Amino acid sequence: MRKFTEKQKEIYNEINIIIWSDWNPIGLNINDSPNEYEGYLNQLFSLKINGADKVKIAEYLFKT
């Protein structure tokens, strides 16, 4: 398993917070399953650390 740098851990955690609190397309609240969108997290993280811009990330989220 790959080890993340501290900066990568920070980015991963920030993405997780964003998809839960801001994206949240099915409208779950904080008391629902916080792992609901975990399946998207790795792909979003990969896009980000590989230099995807906000348009590419938005396209992925839109398709999802």
| pLDDT digit string, tens, across residues 16-59 | 888 887 887 777 766 666 677 888 899 999 999 999 999 999 99
Whether residue 19 contacts residue 44, with contact meaning beta carbons closer than 8 Å, is answered with yes
The mean pLDDT value for 4-14 works out to 93
Location of structure tokens 């997780």: 16
Backbone angles phi, psi at 58, to 5 degrees: -65, -40
Please give the single-letter amino acid code of residue 60: Y
How far apart are the C-alpha atoms of 64 and 62, rounded to whole Å? 5
pTM exceeds 0.95, yes or no: no
3-state DSSP call for residue 15?
helix
CB pairs under 8 A, 24+ apart, for 6-10? 8/45, 8/49
